[in-house]
Structure 1
Amino acid sequence: MTESPVSFAASPNAAGQRRLLTLLFVDLSGSTAMAEWMEAEHYAAMLAGLRELYERIVPHHGGAIARIQGDGMLAVFGYPETREDDGRRATEAALELHAAVRGLLPPGPRPADFAGLTLHSGIHAGIVLVNEGDQMRGRFELLGNAPNIAARLSEAAKADEIIASEESLGLQSQFFETGPRFSLQLRGRATPLAAYRVHGRAAVGRRFEASVRRGLAPFVGRCGELAALDRALGRLLAGHTLWLSIRAGAGVGKTRLTEEFLRHAADQADQPVQIHRGYCESYLSAEPLQPFLQMLRALDGLHDAPPELFAAQQSAPAQRADALLALLLALARRTPQLVCIDDLQWADDASLRLLHRLRSSAQAQGLPLLLLTASRPQPSLPGGHDGDAELIELPPLTETEAARAVQQLLPQHDPFIASEVQRHAGGNPLFIEELCHAAADAGGGLGEGQSSSAWLAALVESRVGRLPAEQAQLVRVAAVIGNVIPVWLLEALTGCGERHPAVLALATQDFIFPDQRPGHLRFKHGITRDVVYEATGLHERQALHRRISFELASHGGPDGQLHEQLAYHDAAANDWPAAAHHAESAGDQALAASALDRAKKQFRAALAALEFLPDGVDRRRRWVHIAQRLGMACVFDASQDDLRVLKHAASLAQADGDPGLIARTEYWLAYVGFALGETKDSLGHAQAAVQTAQLCNDRALLAQLPGTVGQLKAAAAAYNEALPLLDLAIHLQRDRASKSSANRIGLAYSLCCRAYVLADQGHFSDAHEIFAEALAPFDGRGHAVEASIQGWRAAVLLWQGRWAEAREAAAVAHRVGAQVRSMFTCAMGQAAGAYGAWMQTGDPAARQHIVDAIAWLAPRGGGLYSSFNHGWLADILATQGDAGAARHQVALALKRGRQHDWIGGAMAYRAAARLAARVGDTDRAKRYLGLARGAGEQRNSAHEAAVTALVEAELRLGDRWQASLDLARAEFARLGMTGFLERARSL
C-alpha cells in the first residue's frame, strides 16, 4: 500500500479563502450630530484618536482590522488562524474599546448637554469568504452574510451597548455579565437571531467555572477513570510521589472528571489532603508561572504558614520558581499535597520546568505529593508536556453513556433526535450538551450537516488549524467524502492508505478512525466532519465531489449503495440530471428492500434535484411519479411535509389532465392523510381516486382501493361499511400476495384492520387468529408493518385487560418502529406499553411516557388513532386527580373526533365523569357516562359498554350501580376481559 504524500490538489479557489471568522463591528454613537457642531479639524483629530485606539486594542486581543471607514471599524478574529476563543477575544476587545472611548474628550468647545463619546457594537461569527483588499475595500474584502449581521447588530445596539449573537459566544457568554438571551429580527434576515447584551466581564477565570455558571450537565460514566484516580489518592496518602496526566481532546470531559475527583479528595475525613488548583490560558491573563501563581494567591492568609510562603510572595520574578518550589515542598513535609493544573497544553516553559522539578525533588525526598494535570494531545509533541507522567487516556463516552446523557438533557424529545445527537457528537460530552441545547431551542431535530453554533465550529476548526498541512488536507478530503470513508476512495484521491502515517496520526488525534466494516474509516465525531466540510472552499469541494463521482462510477460496487453515494456527490457538484437519476434509483431500491426511511430521503433528494432542471411536461410528470412513490414510502411514518408534497403533486396532475396520473395521486394523498389521522379529508380524496380510476379503467388501482377505503371507514368507526370492503380487499390481495412484497404488506394491514374492528365489537378470539395470519410473513423480521400490527395487538389486548401481553406487543411495536425509523409506530408502542404498565402495576412513570409519545408526534402533525393517547392519558390523570391536565387531554381526544377519530372518545368521556364525580357533580358525571355509552355504541363496541358500566359502579352513581356492576362482571367473563374482571370482582 502506498505511503506517498497527499497527491490530490483541488483547483485554486478564485473567489478567496473560506474562513470561519468572528466579526466585530463598532461605530461611534451620535457622530452625525457631532459633525454639525464640531470644527472639521477637531472632528478629524477625534477620528485620529479613535483610529489610534482601534489600532492598539484590536491587535492586543488577537484581532485584525479589516477596514476603518469614518468613525466605524470592522475587525476580524480568526484570521489567519481560527482559535476556539475568538468570540471571547472579540467581546473583550469591544469592552476595552468602549471603556477607552468613554475616556476620550473631543477637542474644541462642546455643547452643555454633551454626555461624552460612546460606541455601539455588534459581534457575530460565521463562514466568510476572505479576499485580499485594496485602498478602496480595506485590508480584507469580506464576502458573506456574517459581516452584514455584525453590522445589523451594531445598528440595533444603543449608545454604549454591545450586542453579541449567541452563535459567536455560546458557552463563552458565561465569561461576561450579560442581559437575558433575546431574539432580534434583523433587516434582511428571515429568522430571528438569538443574542445577548454584554455589560462587562464576569468573575470567571476558567471554562469549568463558565460551565458551572450556566449549569452543569449530568456527570455520566467515567467509573474506571475515577477508580484509577482513587487508587492514586490512596498512594498519596501512603506517602508516595506520583504524577498523573489526564489526556483527551477538547470537550471530552477532562476538567469535569478532575473536579469530580477533587471534590471526593477534599472530603477525606480520616487524613486531610491539601489541594492546590491552577490552570493555564492561551490568552488574556496568561503570565509566566501562571498556574503556580494562582496557587500562591489562594494561599494568601494561610494560618500557621511556613516561612517559605512569605518568601514566595516577596521573591523577585527571577527567583520566583525557586521560592514556589521551596514552598510546595515545605507544605508536603506537613501534609499530603495534591497539585492540580488544568489545560497544561497552554503552559509556559517556566511552569513546565517547575512542574518537572517539583516531581523530581519530592520523589528524592520521599514526600507525599500527587501532581494531577489535564491536557490535550499535542500534534507537535508526541509525548506531550507530560511525557514522564502516568497517563490516563480519557475516551469519548460509550454509546450507552452517551444515550444516558442525551436522555437527561432531552428528556421529552423523540428517540430519533437523540440518535442524531449521538451520531453528530460521537461521545464527546461537550458536543452532546451543545447539540442538545440546539435541538431544545429549535424544538425539532438536527438538520442535515448541522454543526451547532459558530463558537463550537471554531473549536473544531482551531484543532484542524493546528494539524500539519498534509494531515489537514487529508481531513478536508475525508470530510467531502462523507462521515464514513472507504479506504480505497481516500487512497485514490490522496495516495494515502489506511496504514499511511498521516492517516494513523489522525486516528490518534480523534479525527478519523477505523470503522467496524473492514476497509472503511469513520469520523470520530459527526460534528467535526460537518464543520470541516462547511469550512472547505466551494470550488475545492465541488472539484472533489466531481472527482469522487468519477472514482465511484469507475470502481463500481453494490448498486443500492452506489446510487445513494452518486446521488449525494452529484448534487453537491451541481450535476442535477445525474443527481436526480441516482436519487430516484436509490429510492426505488430502498423501497423494494422495505428500507422506507432511506427511500423517503432519496425520493425527496430526487424531487429537489428536479427543481434545477428545465421545466416542461416530462419533468412535471416525473415529479408526480416520484411523489407517488414517496407516498408509498411514508405510509408508516407520514408527516405534514409529506402531505404537502402530495398536495403539490395533485395540483401538477390536475394541470396535466391525465386521469391515470390524477387517480393515483389522489390515492396516495388519501393514504398519507389517513396515516396522519386526517380521516375525514382522506375519505374525500379516496372517493375522488375511485371516480377517476373508473373513468380510465385503472384495474390495478381499482383493486387496491377497496382496502384503502375500508381502512378509512374503519378509522372513522363506520364498521358496517368497512367490513365488506376489507373482506373484498383481503380476497383480492390474497390472490396477489405471492406476486410482490407490496401486496403482502397490503394484505397484512387489511387483515390487521379487520382484526381490530372485530375485536372492538367483542370478537376477540377471531381477532387474534387474524392477527396471527397478518403477522406470519413478517413476525420477527423487523418490518414496519410488523410494528403497526403489533401496535394494534397491544391496543386490543388492553381492551381485554391482558396487561402483560399488551406490554409485550407494545414493546415490539416500539422497538421495530425505532429500527425502521417510523415515529408513529414507535410512539404508539411506547404509549400503549405505558398504559399497560399503569393498569397492571400503577407505574408512576406511565404518565410521562405517554406525554413524551404525544410530544414526539406533535411536530409531524399528530397521527392516526392519536385519540388513543389522549384517552389513555386522560384516564391516568383523572385517576390521579389532576383535573386541569385531565380536562385538557379530554378536550384533545374529543377534538380528534372532528377528523372521525373516535377510538379514544369513550375513554375520554369516562375520565370526564371521574372528574365530575370527584367534585360531587353527580348530574354531570351521569351525563358524561351517557356520552361514553354513546361513543361506544357508535362503534358497536361491546368492551366499551362493559367498561363504562364498571366505571358507573365504581363511582356509585344513583341506584343502578349494583346492576351496572353485575352487567360488567358478566360481560367481562363472556368477552375474556381478565384484567377488568379482576377489577370488578374487587369492588
Structure 2
Amino acid sequence: MFVDLVGSTVLGRQLDPEDLRHVIAGFNGAVITAIKQYEGFVARYLGDGILAYFGYPQAHEADAERAISAGLAAVSAVGGLASKAGPPGTLSARVGIATGLVVVGDLLGASQEAAAIGDTPNLAARLQSAARPGTVCISEATKRLAGGLFEYQQFDTGIMKGRPPGEPAWLVLGQSSVDSRFEALHPRQLRLVNRIEEVELLQRRWQQVNSGEGRVVLLCGDPGIGKSRLVATIEQVVRDARHFAFRFSCSPLHRHTPLYPVIHLVQRIASLHGTDSADVRREKLRRSLPADASVEDVVHLADLLSIPNTAEEQASNVSPRAKKEMTFTAILRQFESSAWRSPIAVTFEDIHWADATTLDLLARLIDLAEQIPILVIITSRRVDPHPAWSSRPHVTVRILNALDRHLAAVLVQEVAGNLHLSSQFVDRIVANSDGVPLFIEELTRSILERDRQQKDGSNDSTEWQFAPGTIPATLHASLMSRLDRLPLGKEIAQTSSVIGREFSFDILQAISDLSHIQIERSLRELIEAQLIIPHEAVYLFKHALVQETAYASLPRERRSAIHRKIAEVLEKAPADVEATLPQVTAWHFAEAGMPDKAVTYYLRSADLATGRFALAEMVNHLRNALRQLELLPDSPERRRRELPIQVALGRALIDHEGSGSEEVRTTFERALRLCLEFDDTHQMIRVHDGLINYYFTHSAYDKMLLSAHELRDAGHKAGNRQALLVAKRSSGFAHLLSGSFAKAHDDLRSFLDMYEASRDGPEAALTTRDPKVSACTILGICLTAMGNPDSGAAMSTEGIKHAETLNHQVSLVLGLRRACVQRIMQRDDQGVRDLAARIFKITSEYETFKGARDGMIFHCWGQFRATRDPFFLNEMQVTIRHFETTEHWAFLPFFMASAAELRGEIGDRAGAMDLLDRATKLVESIGEKWCAAEIIRLRGLYGARNNEEKRALLQASLVMATDQGAKLWQLRAAINLAELLQSEGDEAGAHALLAPISDSFTEGTNTSDLISARTLLAGLGERSLHH
C-alpha cells in the first residue's frame, strides 16, 4: 500500500520548513496509526509518503481487507488533521493498493529498508498516483480477495506509466451494507450435507463384506473436504473388529513411478531400510507376507522392490509384459489370501496422483472384489469423468460436499477443545471456511493460537478479523501465519516441503545447515503446532496444502539449492535403493536447474518403466528428458544425445497412443533429421520403421514407398542387412495399399525368403513390431485377395505363431488384427470371433492402443453375422466413425465396405450407401485402392437404380479386380453379374462369364464365395444344356 500526502510540493513553497516538518510528522503519525491498527508493516518513509506491506513479515488473516480498511482509515485520519497548513479538511491523502507475489529482502544500510521486488509495488504506486485526493484505489486482485465486504466503483486510471492500457482499477467507496459476511465472500453457495450418511454407507458396505460380498466405494471431493478423515473412521472400525486395513497413498512426486503406492506400503509394512542387506530385506519381506505366500510371489515382490533374488530364483526369458502380469498376480494373491482368512479393507488414497500402472492394478483389484470379501475404498479429488469401473454393480460413488453450518460449528468447537468460544466467533469461522473441514480446522487453530499470544490465554475470541476473498487464498494466509509464528519450525518446514509430502529425518539432516539438536527441536515445534505428523521413521505434512504453502514461500534460488542438495543425497544412495527412485532424483535435478543430470535420471526412469511395461510412465519420462535436454546449449553433442531419446519416445508412443498419433510423426521426423546429420544407419532403421507405421495408419502409400526407398539406399550404402529387410517389407505394405497385389506379393515373399530367424530375429527389436509377423499377416491378406484363401489363412496363422514364439504381445495383437481382416475376406465368421476374443484378452492386460478399437470392429462383425442383433452393427459403425475422426485410415475403406455389406443384407440400402459413399471419398482421397473393386461392387448391389446402372458398376468392379489381379473381388463381381444375366434370361452368358473365373481357383473350395459360384454354375449348366 502506497499512501501519499496530496499537494506536498505546494505546501513546501507555502510553509516554513519547520512547519512543514510538523505537517509531515502529523501525516506520518496518522497513517502509521491506521497501518498498525490493521497489523500492517511500515516498510519505507518517502518524505511525503509511506509504503506499507500486509502479509510481510508476518502473514495475517484477511490481508487484503486489512489493507483496504487501513487505507480508508488513513485517508479519513489525514483529512481530519488540524495542522499548520490549516483546519481539518485542508490536508488530504490518496492510497494505492495492489496484491500479488513479491520477494522481500533487507537492503543493508542506514535506512534498514525491506525492499519488495516484483510488479506489485510498482502497480500500487501507479494506482496511488492515479487516485483522486481522499480516495483509495485498488487493483483487480485486491478487489477479488476482499469480495463484497466493500462498495466499489470502477475507475478509469487513464494511461499509467509502465502499465498496460485498460488495466482495471477500482475506487473503494466504503464498507458494504451486506448482512452476511459469508454471502459477501461466497455469493454462490454449495449444497451442504453432513457426514452421517457417508459413515453409515461405509459401515453397511463393511457389513456386506463380512457377509462374504466384495464392495468398492469411490469418495470424490475437493481438497480438504474430509475424504481422509472419513477413511480413517471406517479403518478404525475395521481394526477394532480385529481385521486388517491397508492404505495405499498416492503421491504427486510419484505420479510416474510404476506401483509406487504398493512399493511404499510394502516397504513400510516389512520395515525395510536402505541399510539392510539384500538377505535381510528379502527375509523381512517374506515375514511380512501371509504365511501361505508362495516362493514365486516373494520373488516377484522382491523384484518390484529392487531386492536382488538368488540366481536360482531369477526368472529366465520373461518379457517385461509377462513380468508385469506376474507382479500383478502376486500382489492380488496376497489380498485374496488375506481376505479369505478374514475380511479386509484396502484404501487407495488420492488416485488423482496415481501412476498409470497403479491404476491398472486398481482396476484388477476391483474385478477381484466381486469374488472375495474385501472392502476397497478409493479417494480422489476428481469427480468427472468417473473411471470406467465406477458403473459396476458392486461399486458405489459418493461425492462429498461441504459441511452444513451446524456440523461445521461442532467441528470448530472440537478443534478448540475446552476453550469457550462465543457464538459470534464460531459463526464467523463457519462462514469463512465455506464448510470445508480442512479450512475450518486450520483457520480455527490459527486464530486461537494468535489470540492466546495476544491475550495471554484469554478465552474470548470475539475480536478476530476474518479473511476475505477466496477460500484458497484465505487458507494460504492462515497457514503462513502459523508458519511465521514458529521461530524454529518455519525453516525446517520450508526445507522439508522441498523433499515432499513425506520426508525422513536422515535426508532432512543431510540437506539442512542446522544441527541435529536444532532439527529435532524444530520438528517438535511443528508437531506441537500440528503441521506435521511423526510416522515411524518418517514425518508427514498433515495436509498437502501445508506442504504447498511452505514450498511456495521459498525464494526460487533457495528452493533450487535445496533441490540440488536432495538430488545429490539421493544420487549417493545405495544402488538397490536408488533403483526405485530415479524419477524423483531426476525431478530434483530438474528443479535445481541441472538439466544434464536430470536427463540422465529421466532416462533411467524410462528404462525402469520399460522393464515393467509401464508405457504411460515411460512416455512421460522420455518427454521430460527431452525438455531438460533442450535447456542445454545447442551443440552436436546435445543433438547426438537427443537422437536415441527421440527414437525411444516415438516407439513408446506407437505402443501407447497408436501409430497414427501426430506426435509419432513429428518425433520420428525430428529423429530422421538427426540421423541424416550424423549418418546413423542403425537408428535410421528404427526411424523409417516408425514413420512407415505412421504412413501405413494414414494410408499414405506414396510416402511409405519413399521412406522404404530411402532406407533401401541407406542399407546398400552401409551394407546393412536389417535396413534392406525393413525396406523390402515396407514397400510390400505400400504396394498392397495401392492395390498392386503382384508387387506386394513379390516384395513380401522376397522378405520372407531373405529372413533368417537365427540371424535376423535378435535384430527385430530395431522395429516397433516384429517384421516377420507384419510381413506374414499382410501377405496373408494379399494372397487371399489374389484368390488363394487357404494359403492366406495359413500365412496369417504363421505370423501369429511367430509372435507367440517371441512372446511379443504388441506384435501378437498386430498379427491377430490383420488375421481378422483375412478371415473377414474369407467370410470365416467363427474364425473372426475367436481372433477378436484373443485381441480383447491381450489388450485388457497390456497397454496397447489400437488393438482394442480394431478388436471392437471384428467382434461386432462376427457377432452380427451370428445373431443379426443391430446393436453390434451400430457399435461397429461407432468405432468406424472414431477412426474417421482420428484419421486412422489403414483398412478403414475395407471396414466401411464390410459394414455396408451387412447393412445391405438386412435391407438397409440407405445405410449401406452412406457407408459406401464415405468409403469411396476416402479411397479417392488417400489412394487406398486394394479394396476399391469391392466397394464398386457393393455400390452396384445397393445403390443402382436399375439393371443398367447395376451392370455398369459390376462390370467396372470386374475390370478393376482383373487389372489388379484380385481374383477374390473378381469372383464376387462375376457371381453378381452372372446372377443379373440369369435374371434377364441370358443363362449361357452367365455361365460363360463365371465358369472360367471359378475354375481358375486352385484352393479355397470350401469358402462361401466358391460354394456360391459352384451352386450358381450348377443351376446354369443344367438349364444351358436345354438351349
TM-score w.r.t. length of structure 1? 0.50
Alignment of 1:573 onto 2:582: no
Distance 1:504 1:871 in 2: 73
Q: 1:743 to 1:667 in 2, by over 3 A?
A: closer
Return the letter of the residue paired with 1:573: A
Q: Which runs of 5+ in 2 are unaligned?
A: 15-19, 80-93, 153-160, 206-218, 231-403, 424-434, 449-468, 999-1003, 1012-1027
Q: 1:689 to 1:339 in 2, by over 3 A?
A: closer
- Which residue in 2 is equivalent to 1:617? 636
| 8 A Cα contact 2:919 2:935, kept in partner | no
Shift of 1:687: 1.7
Match for residue 703 of structure 1 among 721, 725, 732: 725
Q: 1:804 to 1:493 in 2, by over 3 A?
A: farther
Shift of 1:694: 1.5
Distance 1:925 1:162 in 2: 78
Report the 3-state secondary structure (helix = DSSP H, G, I; strand = E; otherwise coil) of the residue aligned with 1:571. helix
| 8 A Cα contact 1:82 1:458, kept in partner | no
Q: 1:382 to 1:349 in 2, by over 3 A?
A: closer
The root-mean-square deviation of aligned C-alpha atoms, in Å, is: 7.9
1:66-123 deviation digits (Å, cap 9, x = unpaired): 9999999999876567799889x69x969x99xx99xx9xxxxxxxxxxxxxx99998
Distance 1:721 1:529 in 2: 65
| 8 A Cα contact 1:834 1:849, kept in partner | no
| 8 A Cα contact 1:693 1:702, kept in partner | yes
Distance 1:471 1:812 in 2: 54
Match for residue 798 of structure 2 among 770, 773, 781: 770
- Which residue in 1 is equivalent to 2:408? 342
Alignment of 1:812 onto 2:841: yes
Return the letter of the residue paired with 1:571: A
- Which residue in 2 is equivalent to 1:548? 566
| 8 A Cα contact 2:582 2:601, kept in partner | yes
Report the 3-state secondary structure (helix = DSSP H, G, I; strand = E; otherwise coil) of the residue aligned with 1:574. coil
Distance 2:170 2:873 in 1: 40
- Which residue in 2 is equivalent to 1:742? 765
- Which residue in 2 is equivalent to 1:539? 557
Report the 3-state secondary structure (helix = DSSP H, G, I; strand = E; otherwise coil) of the residue aligned with 2:654. coil
Match for residue 743 of structure 2 among 699, 721, 728: 721
Shift of 1:695: 2.0
Return the letter of the residue paired with 2:408: D
Match for residue 630 of structure 1 among 625, 629, 649: 649
Return the letter of the residue paired with 1:620: R
Distance 1:160 1:848 in 2: 64
Alignment of 1:974 onto 2:992: no
Q: 1:614 to 1:808 in 2, by over 3 A?
A: same
1:485-516 deviation digits (Å, cap 9, x = unpaired): 789756755789xx9996999999898999xx
Return the letter of the residue paired with 1:225: V
Shift of 1:61: 9.5
Shift of 1:689: 1.9
Match for residue 647 of structure 1 among 635, 659, 669: 669
Distance 2:970 2:474 in 1: 60
Match for residue 898 of structure 1 among 925, 929, 933: 925
| 8 A Cα contact 2:654 2:664, kept in partner | no
1:557-578 deviation digits (Å, cap 9, x = unpaired): 2476465444433333333433
Tell me whether 891-900 or 208-217 shows the greater mean CA deviation: 208-217
Distance 1:836 1:221 in 2: 50
Distance 2:932 2:663 in 1: 28
- Which residue in 1 is equivalent to 2:225? 252
1:354-386 deviation digits (Å, cap 9, x = unpaired): 899xxxxxxxxxxxxxxx99676847999999x
Q: 1:589 to 1:164 in 2, by over 3 A?
A: same
Shift of 1:773: 0.8
Percent identity between the aligned chains?
A: 18
Q: Which runs of 5+ in 1 are unaligned?
A: 1-23, 105-118, 179-186, 232-245, 258-337, 357-371, 386-452, 979-987
Return the letter of the residue paired with 1:898: S
Distance 2:168 2:521 in 1: 44
- Which residue in 2 is equivalent to 1:683? 705
Report the 3-state secondary structure (helix = DSSP H, G, I; strand = E; otherwise coil) of the residue aligned with 2:225. coil
Shift of 1:776: 1.4
| 8 A Cα contact 2:43 2:52, kept in partner | yes
Distance 1:691 1:657 in 2: 13
Distance 2:838 2:877 in 1: 20
Q: 1:673 to 1:213 in 2, by over 3 A?
A: farther
Return the letter of the residue paired with 2:555: G
Distance 2:824 2:200 in 1: 46
1:171-228 deviation digits (Å, cap 9, x = unpaired): x9999999xxxxxxxx9999xx9999999999997989999959989x9999752548
Return the letter of the residue paired with 1:707: R
Q: 1:520 to 1:374 in 2, by over 3 A?
A: closer
Distance 1:72 1:455 in 2: 33
Q: 1:948 to 1:484 in 2, by over 3 A?
A: farther
Return the letter of the residue paired with 1:554: K
Tell me whether 699-708 or 658-667 shows the greater mean CA deviation: 658-667
Report the 3-state secondary structure (helix = DSSP H, G, I; strand = E; otherwise coil) of the residue aligned with 1:634. helix
Distance 1:870 1:221 in 2: 53
| 8 A Cα contact 1:480 1:544, kept in partner | yes
Report the 3-state secondary structure (helix = DSSP H, G, I; strand = E; otherwise coil) of the residue aligned with 1:635. helix
Return the letter of the residue paired with 1:974: T
Return the letter of the residue paired with 1:557: A
Return the letter of the residue paired with 2:844: R
- Which residue in 2 is equivalent to 1:449? none
Q: 1:536 to 1:135 in 2, by over 3 A?
A: closer
- Which residue in 1 is equivalent to 2:575? 557
| 8 A Cα contact 1:471 1:506, kept in partner | no
Distance 1:26 1:977 in 2: 96
1:250-299 deviation digits (Å, cap 9, x = unpaired): 44368999xxxxxxxxxxxxxxxxxxxxxxxxxxxxxxxxxxxxxxxxxx
Shift of 1:635: 3.4
- Which residue in 1 is equivalent to 2:355? none
Report the 3-state secondary structure (helix = DSSP H, G, I; strand = E; otherwise coil) of the residue aligned with 1:252. coil
Aligned residue-pair number: 715
1:48-71 deviation digits (Å, cap 9, x = unpaired): 9x9999999999999989999999
Match for residue 225 of structure 1 among 186, 199, 216: 199
Distance 2:916 2:226 in 1: 42
1:297-325 deviation digits (Å, cap 9, x = unpaired): xxxxxxxxxxxxxxxxxxxxxxxxxxxxx
- Which residue in 2 is equivalent to 1:326? none
Distance 2:694 2:224 in 1: 43
| 8 A Cα contact 2:704 2:730, kept in partner | no
Q: 1:594 to 1:155 in 2, by over 3 A?
A: farther
Distance 2:732 2:540 in 1: 48
Distance 2:184 2:731 in 1: 62
Return the letter of the residue paired with 1:721: K
Q: 1:609 to 1:832 in 2, by over 3 A?
A: same
| 8 A Cα contact 1:814 1:827, kept in partner | no
Distance 1:522 1:725 in 2: 63
TM-score w.r.t. length of structure 2? 0.49
Q: 1:211 to 1:373 in 2, by over 3 A?
A: closer
Shift of 1:842: 0.9
Distance 1:373 1:583 in 2: 38
Q: 1:382 to 1:529 in 2, by over 3 A?
A: closer
